[in-house]
Structure formats: C-alpha cells, structure tokens
Amino acid sequence: MMRAVLRCVLLLCLLAGEGVHAQALRLPAPPQAGFTQHVGAALPLQLAFVDDGGRLVRLARYFSDKPVVLVLGYFHCPNLCSTLFDGVWQALAQGGAVPGSYRLLAVSIDPNETVARAAARRQTYRALDGDGGAWLTGGQDAIAALARAVGYAYQAGGDGEFAHPAGFVVATPDGRISQYVMGVRFAPAALRTALRAAGAGRSGTLAQQFALLCAHFAPTSGRYDGAAMAGVRAACLLVLASLVVAGLRWRARSRHA
C-alpha cells in the first residue's frame, strides 16, 4: 500500500514538473521583468502623481483607514495589463468585498501616459464597483521610486510598450506591503481574505499565499503558470517526505511488535 501511494505522489510531482516546462516554452518570462517581494516594507507615500482628474496628488491621499489594492502597469497596454486589470476587478466583485471597504489604485509605469487615458480607464471599471478606483500617471522619477519600493522590475521597449510582471500588491491602510498576488486570474475568496489581513495591518499567511498562488491559471496556454506549478511541486515534496517518515515509523513499530 505504501509503495502504491509513493508511486502516485511521484507521478503527481512529475506531471507538475512537466507543466512548468511546458508553460516556460509557451510564455517565457521577460528576463528584465519580475517581482522582488518586500513584504512589510513601507511604500513611499510622499511621492507625487497626477490623478485621473488632472490633479496633483501624493500617494498618502489613498492610505488612511482602508486596505489598498495597488496595481502597476500601463493603461494603453493591449494585452497583459488589460487582462490583469480585468482579473483584479472581477475577483473583487465576485468575492463579495464590499465597495468602500478597500481602495483600488492603479499607477502607470509609462511617463508618457495621458490623464485622458487614465480617466477613460476609470470610467470603464466604474460599473464594477461604483467608483472605478484611482488611476495615476506621473514622471519617470516618481514611477521608478515606487517600482523600486514595490520590487517591480520592468523594462521599456522601443515600440512604446513595456516588459513587466503580472500581479499586484495588497497594502495596509498605513502604506505597508501586506501581500503580493501574482498572475492575472485570482480566487475571489482568497483575495477577500488578503484584504481582511491587510485591513488589520497583518501580512498574508502562508496558507493565504498558497491559496492565491493556486489561482494563477494562464488562459492563453490552458495551464497553470510556473509559480503555481512550483508551489505544487513543493507541496508534493512535503507530502512525499511525510509519507517516507510515516513509513519508517510504521516499519520500526512493526519490528518491535
């Protein structure tokens, strides 16, 4: 029986490994794009940006008494950003998070982004939560400083587009990073839990992070992304190690019986 269970676990791990390999072949990550997680770090709330109404604002304006969903991207992005923005708003709407209990903050990484485009984006998403969030544009220095604080690595291309990671940050009301959420599609209930943790000033637990990780399905490839599959592999190894220990203990007890 023990051997059969071990064979099943090993098969699952191999399949997870194959999924990672296949996903890497289909959607290779840009080498200059990714997240370096700074959980617990304070965001630079003194930075100045321009909101979707053309007003000069500081990030501190959006941090006071509610958790904040902070999404970096660029508003004229034709593919990844639109999918990411849609995924965030849909997960919030489907998760039952009460509008007004959190803030949505989108910041463009393109210093040439226009206020008109930011306003159009807000109008697009207003139907989902009644507000549409805040959409900020800014200068290169402010963008770079915020990206460094978040650990968001991106690179501008020669065609006006950017290589950048997919995901967002959930921050506490006082502007500390509570949790990173990777991917473009998210489990609504897990995101709601992450907002509750951030609202209480806590960082996301390991269980919450794994729940969000497992929600990262790539619709373009029909597979879970590399991060999710890496989590599956880690879980497989933990299960395998537990089974080995249990088997050794059972054998030891049998010998002394």
Confidence of residue 9 (pLDDT cuts 50, 70, 90): very low
Report the pLDDT value the prediction gives residue 81, as an integer from 0 to 100: 82
Report the pLDDT value the prediction gives residue 142, as an integer from 0 to 100: 98
Confidence of residue 64 (pLDDT cuts 50, 70, 90): very high
Beta pairing partners, 38: none
**pLDDT higher than threshold 70 for residue 74:** yes
Q: What is the number of alpha carbons within 13 Å of residue 239 lying toward its C-beta?
A: 16
Give the torsion through C-alpha atoms of 218, 221, 225, 230, to 10 deg. Answer: 150
Report the pLDDT value the prediction gives residue 110, as an integer from 0 to 100: 95
Euclidean distance between CA atoms 87 and 167, whole angstroms: 10
Contact call for residues 198 and 97 (beta carbons, < 8 A): no
Confidence of residue 201 (pLDDT cuts 50, 70, 90): confident
Contact call for residues 132 and 126 (beta carbons, < 8 A): yes
Among 4.10.520.10, 3.60.20.10, 3.40.30.10, 3.90.1150.10, name the CATH number for the domain at 34-205: 3.40.30.10
* Residue 234, CA distances (Å) to 2, 168, 179, 212 in order: 20, 23, 20, 15
**pLDDT higher than threshold 50 for residue 118:** yes
Select the more confidently predicted residue: 172 or 6.
172
- Average of per-residue pLDDT across 224-233: 48
The domain spans of the chain are: 2-26+227-256, 34-205
**pLDDT higher than threshold 80 for residue 235:** no
Select the more confidently predicted residue: 156 or 175.
175
**pLDDT higher than threshold 70 for residue 13:** no
Confidence of residue 217 (pLDDT cuts 50, 70, 90): very low
Token pair listed for 75: 């508003």
Place of tokens 């051997």: 3
Select the more confidently predicted residue: 158 or 43.
43
What is the dihedral sign for C-alpha 82, 88, 93, 98?
negative
Report the pLDDT value the prediction gives residue 92, as an integer from 0 to 100: 84
Helix axes 206-213, 226-256, angle to 10 degrees: 120
| Residue 68 phi, psi dihedral angles, 5° rounding | -125, 130
Three state DSSP letters for 82-134: HHHHHHHHHHHHHCCCCCCCCEEEEEECCCCCCHHHHHHHHHHHHHHHCCCCE
The pLDDT tens digits for 175-196 are 999 999 988 888 888 888 899 9
- Average of per-residue pLDDT across 111-133: 85
Report the pLDDT value the prediction gives residue 11, as an integer from 0 to 100: 42
Contact call for residues 106 and 121 (beta carbons, < 8 A): yes
* Residue 70, CA distances (Å) to 77, 152, 159, 192 in order: 17, 12, 26, 15
Euclidean distance between CA atoms 69 and 172, whole angstroms: 9
Average pLDDT of the residues of the chain: 76
